[in-house]
Structure 1
Amino acid sequence: MDKKARAKERREKRRQEISLLRTIPYSDHQRWWSPDTVAVVTGANRGIGFEIAHQLAMDGLTVILTSRDTGVGDAAAKVLQDGGLNVFFHQLDIVNPLSIETFTDWIQQSYGGLDILVNNAGINFNVGSDNSVESAEKVIETNYFGTKNMIKAMIPLMRPSASGARIVNVSSRLGRLNGRRNRIGNLTLRAQLEDVDSLSEELIGGAMDTFLQQAKDGTWESGGWPKVFTDYSLSKLAVNAYTRLMARILSDRPEGHKIYINCYCPGWVKTAMTGWAGHITPEEGADTAVWLALLPDLSISGKFFAERREINF
């Protein structure tokens, strides 16, 4: 059996395992949430985000489905509402500060806050073997800075509870610091980003600014940056690093006000973003996000997961 066949066999076996896990109901002891639990999912009008919203609503939560485009977002929410699910729509553009402010005011007035935030909204302009950095600024502004700004805006609104609030960031294995593919070639920068104790917002932002400047002046290829899906990979590396940073900062919160933050890779999913070239379904890609959002284990924070398994950053 060749390497591709073995990989396909492993994926199918893991797919069957996760399908079985999804059929196992939560016990009363595990089920810390209720219909009053509010989950916000960004970029949820289609693909993985839509399926995350769907699965959370199927588990009995109140879900706020957000989308940059009002028409498609409203239509997506109505599809779930027609299935009897407690899903509501609100417009949200995570790169627009006024849109975030409007959403923040609305959710505070309507629900008094939220319990779960799933940062799914993101973009990618490279498909297949393409690797243009022409849209690098937009990709990093959306995938990293937009995600970061949502986290900052929502943390003050996360409602206190014994179970803790949850933040799940949709990321990618392409953003791993020490992956076999796409790792950063600059060893000094890699070591700095690896050290969670000295990790800072300034360090992460500075790395992104350096790359963007080099992308503009045409010197990025000699900068030691990833060679495939370069801007997307770096945006997700920043999300991963920020997840670890925020887990460290949030760990100091007192009991009853805890917030647990993790990130995960949904895999290569058949969506518009991948040009429908993925090998798993949106339902499968959404599973780990929902699992992390509802996880009863309150000790897990600042971790990176794929297929419900922790992997190294």
Structure 2
Amino acid sequence: MGKKGKEAARERREQRRREVTLLRAVPYEPHQRWWDGLAPPPPPPGRAVAVVTGANRGIGYEAARQLATHGLHVVLTSRDAARGRDAAEQIRAAAGKPGVSVEWRQLDVTDAASVEGFATWVERTHGGVHVLVNNAGVNFNRGADNSVEFAEQVIETNYFGTKRMIEAMMPLMITSPHGGRIVNVSSRLGRVNGRRNRVGDPSLRERLLNDDHLSEELINEMVMKFLEQTKQDNWSSSNEWPQMYTDYSISKLAVNAYTRLLARRLLDRPEGQKIYINCFCPGWVKTAMTGWEGNISAEEGADTGVWLALVPQEQATIGKFFAERREISF
């Protein structure tokens, strides 16, 4: 892409940002607020319940804040209990109005026992959940760095942690005419055919994009093969993998593929038992994960995820990838 092409693309992105900013300012009409009046006791009565993982800061915090502001009861989770407690208090204080309902709960998505205990608590305390936002994630690279020193932690948190939460929460999705919502925070870096960051193996690309070939076994084999190559220190020479933030990109590639796979399994659920699962790219956001080098705020970055969580049922989609409230390719 030449200079003029880059400038045109930049202008299109800025134009879309302006459009989304205007859309965010439009309040939901009463008939669109499907989440009002859904939840029976236990408390809080009359509120849909949303779980947001990794929500003590950044995009997760903003997603939790926005969902709570819209009137859902939000369970904000964090590995660090003190930070989670502080984040919940900050959301209540920042609201400047009564009625914002948020609580915190300690959760480590990399720990199966922690996830199991959390699911038990959700069922006992709230009877289930209407919305799950899988935000918890890590990335240890900055700028031009492309270390895979922490690849195992990145894959375990970003992919297996997301998968673990979905498996634990899906049986707890409260059925309603509006459908349950699962929103996975992902990244354009995890696209199969990204312009600058693509999967190098043509056979793997084809299998990942072919619904007949896509399987949980394929996704797991892919990430385990990459991790094995990092241990052998030959991951780069194979030219199979994305060359930018490789471990993070592969973790999000796996999240995207798993989103599509699960959507296919959920597609034929009858009305009243629908679960709408999608993923989205928040963009390059000014958060601790990017070293505060992003070009948009966490508020902007969280917007598409919140929109997917709240969109009226007649507009809901399943198994799609979004950015700036628009569908993009995997």
The verdict on a shared fold, with TM-score over 0.5 as the criterion, is yes
Deviation per CA, 1:207-227, whole angstroms, max 9, x where unpaired? 001010001001111331111
Residue 308 of structure 1 corresponds to 325
Letter in 2 for 1:305: F
Residue 255 of structure 2 corresponds to 239
2:77 maps to 1:66 = yes
Deviation per CA, 1:228-283, whole angstroms, max 9, x where unpaired? 10000000000000000000011122221110000000000000000000000001
Structure 2 CA distance for aligned equivalents of residues 22 and 298 of structure 1: 17
Residues 50, 220 of structure 1: alpha-carbon distance in 2 compared, 3 angstrom cutoff: same
2:173 maps to 1:158 = yes
Structure 2 CA distance for aligned equivalents of residues 81 and 31 of structure 1: 21
Q: Provide the secondary structure at the position in 1 that maps to 2:178.
A: coil
Residue 207 of structure 2 corresponds to 192
Residue 177 of structure 1 corresponds to 192
Contact 2:55 2:135 in 1 (8 A): yes
Residue 15 of structure 2 corresponds to 13
Contact 1:164 1:298 in 2 (8 A): no
Contact 2:146 2:246 in 1 (8 A): yes
Decide which of 245, 248, 262 is 1:229's aligned counterpart: 245
Contact 1:260 1:298 in 2 (8 A): no
Q: Provide the secondary structure at the position in 1 that maps to 2:211.
A: coil
Letter in 2 for 1:186: D
Greater mean alpha carbon deviation, residues 134-143 or residues 196-205: 196-205
Q: Provide the secondary structure at the position in 1 that maps to 2:236.
A: helix
Decide which of 41, 56, 70 is 1:45's aligned counterpart: 56
What is the count of residue pairs matched by the alignment?
313
Decide which of 266, 283, 300 is 1:250's aligned counterpart: 266
Structure 1 CA distance for aligned equivalents of residues 315 and 27 of structure 2: 19
Q: Provide the secondary structure at the position in 2 that maps to 1:123.
A: coil
Deviation per CA, 1:165-186, whole angstroms, max 9, x where unpaired? 0000000000001111211111
Structure 2 CA distance for aligned equivalents of residues 39 and 142 of structure 1: 20
2:73 maps to 1:56 = no
How far is the alpha carbon of 1:12 from its aligned partner? 2.7
Letter in 2 for 1:15: R
Q: Provide the secondary structure at the position in 2 that maps to 1:222.
A: coil
Q: Which runs of 5+ in 1 are unaligned?
A: none
CA RMSD of aligned residues (A): 1.3
Letter in 2 for 1:225: W
User: Percent of aligned pairs with the same residue?
Assistant: 62
Residues 125, 61 of structure 1: alpha-carbon distance in 2 compared, 3 angstrom cutoff: same
Decide which of 292, 295, 301 is 1:276's aligned counterpart: 292
Residue 47 of structure 2 corresponds to 36
Structure 2 CA distance for aligned equivalents of residues 154 and 168 of structure 1: 12
Structure 2 CA distance for aligned equivalents of residues 204 and 236 of structure 1: 11
Decide which of 104, 109, 112 is 1:89's aligned counterpart: 104
Contact 2:308 2:316 in 1 (8 A): no
